[in-house]
Amino acid sequence: SLLEAIHLLKLQDRTRFYQASTSELYGRVQAVPQSETTPFYPRSPYAAAKLYAYWMVVNYREAHGLHASNGILFNHESPVRGETFVTRKITRAAAAISLGLQSCLYLGNLDAERDWGHARDYVDGMWRMLQQDSPGDYVLATGIKHSVRTFVEAAFAEVGIRMEWHGEGIAEEGRDTKSGRVLVAIDPRYFRPTEVDLLLGDPGKAKRVLGWSASTNFEAMVREMVRSDLEVIAREASYRHLDEDAWQAVG
């Protein structure tokens, strides 16, 4: 591992190591909000693997004196978030539906709650960890929770669509209040086998020691992502038209 390489090559005096940990370590949360001292309870293979990485960092720090830190980062988003993640899936769908290029968005648990912040702020927090004289583990979070449902409403509001909800459970639907069209539906395939219902971080230590706090609020983050996806999707659509025109010309 990189930690072992630093140790074997005796580079600990001129190397600082950062490990990107995750709020998924808390899984079935044992306390709300979650801080650096909250017990972990991972609920997925990903979280279990990240727990191993977390403790390896702690072990090498304590056993060999490495400047190695864990950043326990709660959900952090941006316009370049992968399209398979729920936040980007939502903002991309809101943009595509508003442009008439998609009919419906399918989601799983609308009531799951997360502490969402902007990736730009969190990268600043990572950098600050590496500037400290002593290594440590830090929660980076906004300290504010929002549900998936609220994220959907905020994203669609950015394209002028007000959402209202009808039905319950897997029969629940999100409809455009003006047209009555169903724009959001539930697909049971998107429910996790071991659901994590709530993740809410306590960034007190990061604020106290690093002088860090999240500066981008939830609404501004969603707005930036939706506007970016409007541009991306419009550009993709224009490329498709160019390709179609080229094939017609060849034909």
Question: Which CATH number covers residue 98?
Answer: 3.90.25.10
Residue 143, by phi and psi: left (phi above 0), alpha (psi -120 to 50) or beta?
Answer: left
Specify if 16 maps to a domain. yes
State yes or no: is 84 an active-site residue.
Answer: no
| Candidates 22, 38, 91, 216; catalytic one | 22
Determine the 3-state secondary structure of 165 from DSSP: strand
**Domain membership of residue 106 as a residue range:** 2-234
Q: Catalytic site residue 24?
A: yes
Query: Looking at the 3D structure of the chain, how many domains does it have?
Result: 1
Interstrand relation of 182-186 and 173-176 (parallel, antiparallel or unpaired)? antiparallel
Altogether, the residues listed in the chain come to a count of 251
As beta bridge partners, residue 69 has 18
What does the alpha-carbon distance between residue 118 and residue 224 come to, in Å, rounded to a whole number?
10
Q: Which of 4, 15, 18, 24 is catalytic?
A: 24
Q: How far is CA 120 from the centre of its chain?
A: 12
Report the DSSP beta bridge partners of residue 34.
201
Of 4, 37, 46, 62, which one is the catalytic site residue? 46
Instruction: Provide DSSP, 70-102.
Output: EEEEPPEE-TTS-TTSHHHHHHHHHHHHHTTS-
pTM: 0.92
Is residue 130 a part of any domain in this protein? yes
Query: Which tokens go with 164?
Result: 């209202």
Per-residue pLDDT of the chain (251 residues; tens, 9 = 90+): 899 999 999 999 999 999 999 999 999 999 999 999 999 999 999 999 999 999 999 999 999 999 999 999 999 999 999 999 999 999 999 999 999 999 999 999 999 999 999 999 999 999 999 999 999 999 999 999 999 999 999 999 999 999 999 999 999 999 999 999 999 999 999 998 898 999 999 999 999 999 999 999 999 999 999 999 999 999 988 877 655 555 455 45
Residue 190 lies in a domain: yes
- In Å, how far are 58, 59, 109, 119, 124 from 53, measured between CA atoms? 9, 10, 28, 21, 22
pLDDT recorded at residue 244: 54
Is residue 46 flagged as an active site residue? yes
- Asked if residue 217 is part of any domain, the answer here is yes
